[in-house]
């Protein structure tokens, strides 16, 4: 009798547990404003810096079907794909570019800040920079940058795992030029 009760309870739990059908996927066409640079992201390495029309909060996201050229600000029409999984009470958002509405050059002296080493809650210190053999640095294995006079500061921060942020301008061929570092 005990086995039958346990079996019935187990079947009941399984019937009410999470399944792929618990997720809900919605699509919405939105307008995105994409900044002229990419920033670091603990989950993807680098990410686009975007705001959605009507929502001034800055987001760091991936955008499918989008060819990005550093040094340009973009206005895009995009499909916002939101997946909600009731079983885990979580939501993920993805974007897929549909049309480029505009592409405008950023000022040549435009400065932007990027975390180079930062504390990521639940993961510890995340280091997004690495020195290459030719004494240049690379950001998240994607963007080369010239360290100017700050190479020793970066080496020290990597060695000591110290949080550090860089202020950059755009360089030639999609590279960044480090202008300042901040602990």
**Buried-state track 102-119, b at ≥16 Cβ within 10 A, e below 16:** eeeebeeeeebebbbbee
The reported pLDDT for the residue numbered 99 is 97
The reported pLDDT for the residue numbered 21 is 55
The reported pLDDT for the residue numbered 134 is 80
The reported pLDDT for the residue numbered 22 is 62
What's the length of the chain? 183
User: Which residues have C-beta within 8 Å of that of residue 37, sequence separation ≥ 6?
Assistant: 49, 70, 71, 112, 114, 168, 170, 176
The reported pLDDT for the residue numbered 120 is 87
pTM of the model: 0.81
Q: What is the pLDDT along the chain (183 residues), one digit of tens a residue?
A: 554 444 444 444 444 444 445 678 899 999 999 999 999 998 889 999 999 999 999 999 999 999 999 999 999 999 999 998 877 778 888 999 999 999 999 998 999 999 999 998 877 889 999 998 887 899 999 999 988 899 999 999 999 989 999 999 999 888 999 999 998
């Amino acid at each position: 009798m005990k086995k039958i009760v346990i079996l019935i309870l187990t079947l009941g739990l399984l019937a009410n547990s999470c399944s792929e059908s618990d997720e809900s996927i919605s699509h919405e066409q939105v307008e995105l404003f994409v900044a002229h640079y990419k920033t670091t992201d603990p989950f993807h390495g680098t990410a686009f810096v975007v705001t959605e029309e009507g929502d001034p909060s800055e987001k760091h996201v991936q955008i499918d079907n989008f060819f990005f050229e550093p040094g340009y600000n973009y206005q895009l029409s995009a499909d916002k794909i939101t997946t909600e999984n009731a079983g885990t009470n979580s939501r993920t958002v993805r974007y897929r570019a549909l049309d480029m509405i505009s592409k405008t050059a950023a000022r040549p002296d435009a400065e932007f800040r990027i975390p180079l080493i930062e504390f990521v809650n639940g993961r510890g210190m995340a280091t997004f920079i690495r020195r290459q053999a030719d004494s240049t640095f690379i950001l998240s294995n994607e963007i080369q940058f010239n360290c100017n006079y700050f190479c020793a500061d970066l080496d020290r921060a990597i060695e000591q795992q110290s949080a550090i942020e860089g202020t950059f301008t755009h360089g030639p061929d999609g590279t960044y030029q480090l202008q300042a570092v901040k602990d």
